[in-house]
Each structure stands twice: as C-alpha cells, then as structure tokens.
Structure 1
C-alpha cells in the first residue's frame, strides 16, 4: 500500500498538486493539518481515501483534531502536533501514540521533515510543501509504502 503524507500547505496548492501528480497512483493521502479551508479541494484532487486533521491555523474548521488510521495492520496517529510540544521534543507525541495502541504517528507543525523512532513509535513529519524551514528550504512530503506484511518504509521526497 502506498500512502502520500503531506502537511502545512497553508492554502497554497501548487506544490501539493505537483506532489500528487508525481506520486500517483497512491492508495491514501494523509494531511497533517494547516490546510486553511482547502480540505474539499484536497480530497477531490487526491481521488482516494483521505485523512485530514486540523492544524493550529485551521480556524473555524470542522476537521478532527486527530485521527487514528490503520494501514496493513499498523495503527497510526495522525495529528498536527502542536498539542504535544513537537517544537521542543517528540516524547509527548510518541507517548500519545503508544497510549492509543499506535506504532506510528504522522504529524506536522514544525515544517521540517522527520523520520525517526522514539520509544518504539515511528514518527513521521513530511515537512511543508508551502513554507519549509529546514536547511535549504526545499518543499517536502513523505511517501510510506508497506510491503504486504505490514512493514512500513518511509521516504522524504523533495520538490
């Protein structure tokens, strides 16, 4: 199964469109928040099941604060991350995922790509397609593929 993971698009869809066209076909799109009112457009563009959560800039949104999805036997917490102090450390996020029986968490907010394990939980931040903050400031997203046995393989990709 192939999952496209994006975050922090902030209503600027040009790079999201490029990422979707580059990675198609995929089985699911996960957006980790800060869509700024573009959730219906994103769902239509993706043409597949989507998990989209609200971010700290999604004012007046009906999007859920968090979601738990299942991908080939893996339970994954999807959140923006701002409720878990992710600018400082990832331990609160990892604990929140573990407490829900999740072995992975996808999050946004920091605009910096991350793929690492903490306390046995795979943490994935795809970075930002609109306002990247890492060295080089290249827009980024992540692709997760499972091998049919549930093993998750995640790669950060850049535009």
Structure 2
C-alpha cells in the first residue's frame, strides 16, 4: 500500500499535481490541512480515497478539524497541529497522541518536515512539511510517502521536489 502525505498547499496546487504525476498510482492521499478551498480539486485529482482536515487558514470549509482512522494495523490521528503548539515543539501533540492510543500522528502547520518516533511511547509523528511554501533550510517543497510492506509494516520516505 502506498500513501502520499502532504500539507499546507494553500491553494497552490501545481506542486501537488506534479508530485502525483511523479509518484504514480497511490492507494491513499492524506492532506494535513491548509487547503484554502481546493478540497474538491484535490479529491478530483487524487485517484484514490482522501483524508483531509482543516488548517488554521481554512476558514470557510466543512472539513473536520481532526480525524482518526486505520491504515493497516496502525491507528492514525490526523490534525493540522496548530491547536497543539507544534510551532514550538512536538511535546504536546505527542502527549495527546499517546492519550488517544494512536500509533501515528500526522500534522502540518510548521511547513517543516519531520518524521520522528518517540522512543518512550513508540508513537510516530509525521509532518510532511509544505509542498507549496516550505520553511526549512533550503526551502524545498516536501512530502512523505508511506508504504506498507507485505507484513504490513510502515516505511516512511521524506521526499523533495
């Protein structure tokens, strides 16, 4: 199973279209928020099921603020992250993820990519960065490909345009 994880497109969807062309067929698209009105467009080009939440700039949307769902054997919590102070660190969001009993928390907001597994709780935090407005050193648009192998184990690949 191949899952594309993106965030913070901010209605600049050209890079997302490019990434979809590059990675080929995917089984699931996950958007961590700040779509700014492109919900229908993103769903139309994904070619697969889509999980998408509202971000702090998604003012006029029916998207949920958060969502929990399963990917294989993993329980996933999807949120934009701004309510959990992710701009100053991952402590609050990891604490909340542990209290929810999830295996993976996916979030955006910072425009900086991150893949981190907490050694104490074994919760994996994934932030794909921004595919449109990156803020990390080098400022390259980023996304994460998550793949489940034959045994159902997750592997994460941070990728750049």
TM-score (norm 1): 0.97
Deviation (angstroms), 1:138: 0.4
Paired residues, number: 159
Aligned to 2:127: 125
Say which SS state the counterpart of residue 34 (structure 1) adopts: coil
Two-structure CA RMSD over aligned residues (Å)? 0.9
2:140 aligned to 138, 141, 144, which one?
138
Say which SS state the counterpart of residue 63 (structure 1) adopts: coil
Deviation (angstroms), 1:90: 0.7
Say which SS state the counterpart of residue 40 (structure 1) adopts: helix
Moved over 6 A (4+): none
Aligned to 1:99: 99
Deviation (angstroms), 1:4: 0.1
Say which SS state the counterpart of residue 114 (structure 2) adopts: strand
TM-score (norm 2): 0.96
Q: Contact 1:72 / 1:148 at 8 angstroms: preserved in 2?
A: no
CA deviation map 1:79-132 (0-9, x unaligned): 100010001111211122222221111100000010011232101100101100
CA deviation map 1:10-64 (0-9, x unaligned): 0001101001111121100000000000011000100111000000000021100
Q: Contact 1:7 / 1:129 at 8 angstroms: preserved in 2?
A: yes
Aligned to 1:26: 26
Say which SS state the counterpart of residue 43 (structure 2) adopts: helix
Structure 2: gaps spanning 5 or more residues: none
Structure 1: gaps spanning 5 or more residues: none
How far apart are the structure 2 equivalents of 1:150 and 1:54? 29
How has the CA–CA distance of structure 1 residues 115 and 33 changed in structure 2, closer, same or farther, with 3 Å as cutoff? same
Deviation (angstroms), 1:148: 2.9
